[in-house]
Amino acid sequence: MIDKFVADVPAALAGIADGAVVLLPGFGNGTPETLVEGLIAQGATDLTLVANSGGRDTGPTADLLATGRVRKLICSYVRPDSVAGRLFAAGKMELEIVPQGTLAERLRAAGAGIQAFYTPTGADTLLAEGRETRIINGRNCLLEYPLAGDVALIDAWEADRWGNLTHRESARNFNPVMAMAAKLTVVQTRHVLPLGGIPPQNVHTPGVFVHRVVHVPGQETTP
């Protein structure tokens, strides 16, 4: 019987090594906060963190960055007044800024076996300096490469033992594409459903992208 549920957060995060590339979804919501706390406790260091933003002064991303164990942050923006902003300004963290759509597409490319792609996004900007470009159909394009993770930490609303997931409203955001882009995809889910409890036509992230699931019931939020 396939059963991707593990007993607890330490079991879910076992084996994440120093130097790992960590994919962390979230955009106002949809961040797996308990898994981030677990990663902080787990102690892996020299990490590369891939997230939409560098977060603020508090919250999961800021808490992880504040440990000093993130060597490099790859994201679409960093607030000057944030843990990330100050770490970068102080030269204590590398930063790679990627346009948000390119970030999502590079993650998808990693999950979909696309080896590189051309996009007009970012061409003719500072982000294109020293990069390979090409004019296609009259449009200047940047060559972009896949962005794969060693581990993805995923937030779900519902999960079954095959790892099929749903996500709530806009909390879906980066979760499905990050789930497909990592060697090890670890999920925290609010609810556990029996196999088949998610209608097959309404699965948001198929279990084939998921390796471990931990039930984090948390506080019920309405609605």
Partner 1 sequence: MSFRPLDRAGIAARIARDIPEGWFVNLGIGIPTGVSDHVPLDREVIFHSENGVIGAGPAPAPDQVNPYLVNAGTQHITLRTGGAFVHHADSFAIARGGHLDLCVLGAFEVSETGDLANWARAPDEPVKQVGGAMDLAIGAKRLWVAMEHITKGSGGSRLRRVCSYPLTAKGVVKRVYTDLAVLDVTPEGFRVIDMVPGMTPALLQEKTEAKLHWA
> What backbone phi and psi angles, to 5 degrees, belong to 172?
-65, -50
Compute the Cα dihedral for 87, 88, 90, 91 and give only its sign. Answer: positive
Nearest-approach distance from CB 141 to a second copy, in angstroms:
5
Residue 3 burial (CB < 10 Å; 0-12/13-18/19+)?
exposed
Which CB sits closer to a second copy, 64 or 160?
A: 160
Gap between the Cα atoms of 88 and 177, Å rounded: 27
Nearest-approach distance from CB 66 to a second copy, in angstroms:
34
Binding site for partner 1 (CB under 8 A): 1-2, 27-30, 52-53, 76-80, 85, 88-89, 95, 97-102, 104-105, 107-108, 110-114, 119-127, 140, 160-162, 164, 168-177, 180, 195-196, 198, 200-201, 203-204, 206-209, 221, 223
150 binds a second copy (CB under 8 A): no
Q: What does 189 interact with, of partner 1, a second copy, none (CB < 5 to 8 A by kind)?
A: none
Gap between the Cα atoms of 41 and 30, Å rounded: 21
Which CB sits closer to partner 1, 44 or 61?
A: 61
Which of 202, 219, 221, 222 forms a contact with a second copy (CB under 8 A)?
Answer: 202
How many chain residues touch a second copy (CB under 8 A)?
26
Residue 50 burial (CB < 10 Å; 0-12/13-18/19+)?
buried
Cβ 39 vs Cβ 14: under 8 Å: no
Q: How many other C-beta atoms lie within 10 A of the C-beta of residue 59?
A: 15
Residue numbers of the site for a second copy (CB under 8 A)? 105, 109, 112-120, 134, 136-137, 139, 141, 145, 166-169, 172, 200-202, 204
